[in-house]
Amino acid sequence: MAYKETHNRFTDLWMKFIIWREHHIKESKFVIFLALIVGIVCGFAAQLLKYLIHLIANALTSGLSTTSANWLYLVYPVIGILFVTLFLKFVVKDNISHGVTKVLYAISRRKSRLKKKNMYASLISSSITIGFGGSVGAEGPIVFTGAAIGSNFGQAFRLSPKILMILVGCGAAAGIAGIFRAPIAGMLFTLEVLMIDLTGMTVMPLLISSIAGATVAYVLEGYNSEFFFAQSEPFLTKRIPFTILLGVVCGFVSLYFTRVMFWMETIFSKLPNKFLKIITGGVIIAVLIFIFPPLYGEGYGAIENLLEGDISKIVDGTFFYVDRDNVWFLVLFIGAVMMFKAFATSATNGAGGVGGTFAPSLFVGALCGFLFAYILNNLDLGIHLSQKNFALMGMAGVMSGVMHAPLMAIFLTAEMTGGYDLFLPLLIVSLLAYMTIKLFLPYSIYTMRLARAGDLLTHEKDKAVLTLLKLDNVIENDFKTVKPEMNLKEMVDTISVCNRNLFPVIDDDGMLKGVVILDEIRNIMFRSDLYKKMHVSRFMSAVPATIELSYTMDKVMEIFDKTNAWNLPVVDNGKYVGFVSKSKIFNSYRRVLRHFTED
């Protein structure tokens, strides 16, 4: 009883504070303060995630080498996925996979509202998945966690959906900034991947939140870059043709990575039960990691080796150690690791693990760039390319292609390695990788699922506003319906008590059969000699098209454009629901557009 009274008292005080804030602090000002708080909290959340991953991984691999062929690598990832599956089933009771996609869906369809449990569910699940050797990254989960923190802060203060969307972006940006110590990349991730508009009202909160998240990381971890990179060989302009070629190669590698991920996702979605998914995914991961130990975990150790220019450590302790001096065998081994990373990542998520594609794309990119330079250097072409420089460029290129975010990839790679001296080649590779994959895939690995379902909010204002509109909200159902067997007299009586000039014709089962248009029957309306002879079935007209209740507004407008109609009937599997008019859509469109664009 005392707890209930205390809770009620706290609720009353909180509501009084919210009312006071609404009267004394403008929403646009208050969001700046919240962005700072969200940034700090998300920065600590990112640090906690990294700490838990390292704690679990160190506990499991102490005394072992993560690049050794060991039978425990067959067991750890499966145990981790099993723990995560039980945690999600009995504690979270929700599907939290594809975290960034879920954030995009919340922005597009849920008015930026995320559940409270999303503030911790991904953090715990991904730390177990990755700590036990799951071949995924922690960055997707921290985006989901940060976005949920931002959303729930906004919901607690009862802020508008527009401000909630900004706070979701602030949380995501701070999460990226905190885990990579990359504030600019965090902000650009929100703008490019989450597709929140660049306006005066959004830039400042995003920047504050990103800086706050990165500051927490710097205070707790120091000012060193995430990866050590020392540019011992300067980039020469005569290497630009090879840089251009690497950009195209990274674009195709990104295409391969994305398509394999979706192909594997489709296969796992068809498996009949969770147990079979765990077994299938577990076997794939275990076998791949046992044969190719660099696939274990995030793969950051391998990235560090490549950025140091040392290829030998990649094969140390594996079955292929004896062939470490064989150039072309090394090429095959590293190429296989690069190609199988997509399978390992998708199998980890498909089996029930929780993780993102940031780290895998960086891993694949580093291997791609290093392998590109390594092959050319051993072809006796009379050229020498810096293998670690090209590994760095490859990281930016593949990330740019997979995520369709070239600016974020450039700044993230530069910030997390300190490789600012390679800014020009990073620009070239990222841009060309992005342009290459765009020829084949218009959407990123995150947005493709939503785009196929028509739930994607985009930077194109027209499509974005149409996405925010709901068909249910523009349907008009105050039309008088008539039956096919009604005679002209009954039709005239119906017209006399209605102010519409359009009458849907439905049968006894409610199925739409056609429409009666007032202008088309004016010439017979007052001929009393036809009142009993003429029936609706004879003078009704066919509709130019029908709109299914499940259609998106984007598709609805396509139908209006094709038919040049001003009113079209809405049906649900053939049954009449109502009408939708261009004028009603335009009025709703203008209202949403004003709210969507105002600062």
**Beta pairing partners, 516:** 503
> In sequence order, what are the residues at sequence separation of 6 or more whose Cβ sits closer than 8 angstroms to the Cβ of residue 15?
none
Q: What is the pLDDT of residues 156-201, one digit of tens each?
A: 988 887 888 889 999 999 999 999 999 999 999 988 888 666 666 7
Strand order in the sheet with 567-572: 475-476, 575-581, 567-572, 547-548
State residue 274's pLDDT score. Answer: 86
> In sequence order, what are the residues at sequence separation of 6 or more whose Cβ sits closer than 8 angstroms to the Cβ of residue 211?
39, 177, 183
pTM score, two decimals?
0.79
Residue 457 has pLDDT above 70, yes or no: no
Side chain identity, residue 456: L
Mean pLDDT of 315-334: 69
State residue 464's pLDDT score. Answer: 58
Residue 380 has pLDDT above 70, yes or no: yes
Domain 2-221 superfamily per CATH: Clc chloride channel (1.10.3080.10)
Which range, of 173-177, 450-454, 490-494, averages the lowest pLDDT? Answer: 450-454
Backbone angles phi, psi at 264, to 5 degrees: -65, -40
Q: How far apart are CA 262 and CA 259, in angstroms?
A: 5
Parse the chain into domains and list their residue ranges: 2-221, 237-458, 463-597
Q: What is the pLDDT of residues 523-534, one digit of tens each?
A: 888 788 888 888
> In sequence order, what are the residues at sequence separation of 6 or more whose Cβ sits closer than 8 angstroms to the Cβ of residue 124?
52, 87
Pick the CATH number of 463-597 from 3.40.50.970, 3.90.1150.10, 3.40.50.2000, 3.10.580.10: 3.10.580.10
Residue 398 has pLDDT above 90, yes or no: yes
Cβ-count burial 425-453 (b if 16+ within 10 Å, e if not): bbbbbbbbbbebbeeebebbbbbbbbeee
Q: How far apart are CA 568 and CA 547, in angstroms?
A: 7
Side chain identity, residue 324: R
Q: What is the pLDDT of residues 65-109, one digit of tens each?
A: 544 456 776 788 889 999 998 998 888 888 777 778 788 877 766
* 240, 246, 250, 256 alpha-carbon torsion, rounded to 10°: 150
> In sequence order, what are the residues at sequence separation of 6 or more whose Cβ sits closer than 8 angstroms to the Cβ of residue 101?
446, 447, 449, 450
State residue 425's pLDDT score. Answer: 93
State residue 354's pLDDT score. Answer: 87
The SS3 of residue 475 is: strand
Question: What tokens does 234 get?
Answer: 């300067």
Q: How far apart are CA 578 and CA 556, in angstroms?
A: 14
State residue 66's pLDDT score. Answer: 46
Which range, of 160-174, 455-469, 507-521, averages the lowest pLDDT? Answer: 455-469
The mean predicted confidence, pLDDT, of the chain is 85
Architecture (CATH level 2) of domain 237-458: Orthogonal Bundle (1.10)
**Per-residue three-class SS string for 357-376:** CHHHHHHHHHHHHHHHHHHH
Nearest to 192 by CA among 470, 371, 409, 437: 409
Tell me if 2-221 shares its fold with 237-458. yes
pLDDT confidence bin for 120, thresholds 50/70/90 = very high
**Beta pairing partners, 575:** 511, 572
> In sequence order, what are the residues at sequence separation of 6 or more whose Cβ sits closer than 8 angstroms to the Cβ of residue 386?
232, 233, 235, 309, 373
Cβ-count burial 51-71 (b if 16+ within 10 Å, e if not): ebbeebbeebbeeeebbebbe
